[in-house]
Amino acid sequence: MKKRAPFLTAVLVGALAGCGATTSETITAPQIEQYRIVRIAVLPFMVTPPTPGQQRGYAAPAPPPVAGDKLAEVFYRKLNNREGLAVVPPQMVRESMPSVTASVASRSLLRDLGERLDAGAVLEGTVEVYQERKGSAIGLERAEDAAAVGFSVRLVSVKDSKVLWTGEYYERQRPMTEDLSGFLERGARFLTIEQLADSAVEHVLRKFPLGYQIQRRLGETSAAP
């Protein structure tokens, strides 16, 4: 595993060896509370082949360009449902960055974008694996025909370009014989790529440090770690 910057604290949420196993990791900068961020913007995600996901053993072709928009939309929708956090609508983001790439490397460009959107931070990401299921929800011919998703995201301060939080997720859905609890948790079926991506984003955002996640089943809210 690569060494992380010393100012970051890491939370490893499971790392299983082997191609297709689920790997999820989030890292939060301990000084994030000093930034007092209440409004963020989700930028369009990048899709750049060849991807790190393919290098990890995923034989699927590079993700289609539309995968970036789909993952960004899922993150926006789920973050927008959190209490105590304002998220800039996607249309406003697109209108404010016609000539800015999804990965904002320039500090001046990042600051300018934050001022336009009145946002304290932006969430940018890269889609590395996005493979549709080949087969039905009740059965596949081969294990590698299951849906697979992989992405990395970063929350970046527009004030000083500091990375405040990162998250990454890789998974090819496994059959019940290899992942009983995960299979049953999702309804005992093989998911489409959109369903798997939704589940993956939900998993990563359990460790998102801003806002409050709504516990709809219990009718209450819980503070984000």
pLDDT digits (tens, 9 = 90+) for 20-68: 457 889 999 999 999 999 999 999 999 866 555 556 665 556 788 899 9
Question: Can you read off the two tokens belonging to residue 141?
Answer: 């011919």
52 burial level (CB within 10 Å; 0-12, 13-18, 19+): middle
Q: Measured between alpha carbons, how far is 63 from 164 in angstroms, rounded to an integer?
A: 27
Tokens 């789920």 — which residue? 78
Nearest residue to 204 (alpha-carbon basis) of 11, 24, 3: 24
How do residues 103-160 score in pLDDT, each as one tens digit?
A: 455 677 888 888 889 999 999 999 989 998 888 888 777 877 889 999 999 999 999 9
Q: Measured between alpha carbons, how far is 70 from 48 in angstroms, rounded to an integer?
A: 15
Question: Residue ranges per domain, the chain?
Answer: 9-208
The answer to whether domain 9-208 has CATH 3.40.190.100 is: no
How do residues 207-222 score in pLDDT, each as one tens digit?
A: 999 998 766 443 444 4
Neighbour order of strands in the sheet with 148-157: 9-15, 23-28, 163-172, 148-157, 121-131, 39-42, 86-87
Q: Write down the pTM of the prediction.
A: 0.79
206 burial level (CB within 10 Å; 0-12, 13-18, 19+): middle
